[in-house]
Amino acid sequence: MKSSGTQSRPYVMGKRASSAAETGRRILQSTLDLFMEGPLANVTLAAVAERAGVTVQTVIRRFGDRTGLINATAQYSTANVASQRDAAPAGDVAAVVDNLVEHYETTGRLALKLLAEEETSPVMAAITAGGREYHRQWCDRVFAPFLEAPFVEDGPGRARRLAQLVALCDVYTWKLLRLDAGLSRDEVAVSLLEMLGPFTRRP
């Protein structure tokens, strides 16, 4: 017969693992929150630890130095972005636009802030470069049916059309419509559908 201590050990270990995962998530989210509130220089280990309700040593044990923490936070944010945007179905323009607008509603301001700091931070520059590549690949996937004949005729035409779609779906386009022009979320979606129309209607 197994002792109660043996039986409870997996439960205790599971609780510890769950608690550790939650602590890690809280540290990463605190790092993101601090970055949104000010310049990257203000995101220190001490500030993150205070925001997350842990010690600096806990942050160091989990993520190493400040660079390790920022890189881990970038991976955390990127994974969240990919999880949401990867749900967009290829070829369904309305669903693609809805997915994109929802993404920018939740993370557009963060993306703009990252872009604003890329010139002064190699870390930010690496993050934004990865974001641009993901966005291009995403557009290539979701608009794949419209990047072939009869919508485009040749290789150079496909590359040009993809570049146009990438630009139309860029976060700066969302910024111009949503933040600068003050359109509502639904108006932004309609605007994007109208702009994408010439590229996604069968010739």
Residue 181: is its pLDDT beyond 90?
Answer: yes
Q: CA-CA distance, 107 to 53, in Å (whole number)?
A: 24
43 and 113 in a common domain: no
Q: CA-CA distance, 132 to 136, in Å (whole number)?
A: 6
98 and 9 in a common domain: no
Does residue 199 form part of some domain?
yes
Does residue 72 form part of some domain?
no
Q: What is the pLDDT of residue 8?
A: 61
Does residue 80 form part of some domain?
no
Residue 35 belongs to domain with CATH number: 1.10.10
The one-letter amino acid at 195: M
Q: Within 13 Å, how many C-alpha atoms sit on residue 76's CB side? A: 18
pLDDT tens, 67-117?
999 989 988 888 888 999 999 999 999 999 999 999 999 999 989 998 998
58 and 90 in a common domain: no
Query: Two tokens at 152?
Result: 């485009």
Domain span at residue 143 reads 86-203
Does residue 78 form part of some domain?
no
Query: Two tokens at 190?
Result: 């309609």
